[in-house]
A and B are shown apart, each in its own frame.
Chain A
Amino acid sequence: MTSTDSTSPATRSRPAWGAALVWMGLLGLLALVGFGLIRTQQGPVGVGSAMPDFTLTTFDGDVYDTAQERGRVLVVNFWASWCKPCEQEAAALEEAHRRLSPEGVLFLGVNYVDTEPEALAYLDRFDITYPNGPDLGTRISQAFRIRGVPETYIVGPDGVLTLVKIGPFESLDEILNAVRAAQAGPSS
Chain B
Amino acid sequence: MRDLTSPAAWSLPPPERGRVRGGGVSPAWAAAVALTIALAALALPARAQEPTPSDDEVNAIAKGLYCPVCENVPLDVCPTQACAQWRETIREKLAAGWNQQQIQQYFVEQYGGRVLATPPPSGLNWLVYLLPPVAFVVAAYFLWRTMRRWAGARRPAPSPDAPTDDPYVARLEEELRRRS
Whether chains A and B associate is: yes
Contacts of B69 in A (CB 8 A): 82, 113
Which chain B residue shows the least CB distance to A134? B110
A1 to B153, CA, bound (A): 11
Contact B138 A138 (CB under 8 A): no
- Known contacts A82-B85, A115-B85, A1 near B68 by CB under 8 Å: no
- Neighbour of B82 across the interface among A1, A4, A32, A113, CB < 8 A: A113
B111 within 8 A of A: yes
Contact call B89/A138, Cβ cutoff below 8 A: no
B111-154: which have CB < 8 Å to A? 111-114, 124, 127, 131, 138, 148-149, 152-153
Cβ contact of B111, chosen from A2, A22, A137, cutoff 8 A: A137
Residue in chain A with minimal CB distance to B151: A4
User: Pick the contact of A4 from B86, B89, B152 — CB < 8 Å?
Assistant: B152
Measured in the bound complex, the distance between the Cα atoms of B108 and A114 in whole Å is 13
By a CB distance below 8 angstroms, the chain A residues around B138 are 22
Interface size bracket, A side: 10 to 19
- Docked-complex contact A82 and B80, CB < 8 angstroms: yes
**From DSSP, what is the main secondary structure of chain B's interface residues?**
helix
Which residues of chain B are within 8 angstroms of A53 by Cβ–Cβ distance? Answer: none
- A80 to B86: give the CA distance in the assembly, Å: 13
CA gap between A118 and B131 in the complex, in Å: 41
CA of A134 to CA of B107, assembled, Å: 13
Closest-by-CB residue of A relative to B134 is A25
Task: Enumerate chain B residues within 8 angstroms of A82, measured Cβ to Cβ.
Answer: 69, 80-82, 85
Q: A82-B81, A82-B85, A115-B85 are in contact. Are A4 and B153 (CB under 8 A)?
A: yes
Q: Is the CB of B109 within 8 A of A113?
A: no
Known: A1-B157, A2-B157. A138 touches B68 (CB 8 A): yes
Closest to B139 in A: A22
**CA–CA, A134 to B111, complex, Å?**
10
With A82-B82, A118-B85 as known contacts, state yes or no: A137 contacts B131, CB within 8 Å: no
| Chain A residue contacts of B88, Cβ below 8 A | 115
- Indicate with 1 or 0, residue by residue over A91-127, a CB within 8 angstroms of chain B CB atoms: 0000000000000000000000111001000000000
- Contacts A2-B157, A115-B85, A115-B86 hold; do A137 and B68 have CB atoms under 8 A apart? no
Given A32-B124, A115-B86, A139-B112, 12 additional A-B pairs, CB 8 A: A32-B127, A82-B80, A82-B82, A82-B85, A113-B68, A114-B82, A115-B85, A136-B110, A137-B109, A137-B111, A138-B111, A138-B112
13 example contacts (A-B, Cβ-Cβ < 8 A) are as follows: A1-B157, A4-B153, A32-B124, A82-B69, A82-B80, A82-B81, A82-B82, A115-B85, A115-B89, A118-B85, A137-B111, A138-B112, A142-B112
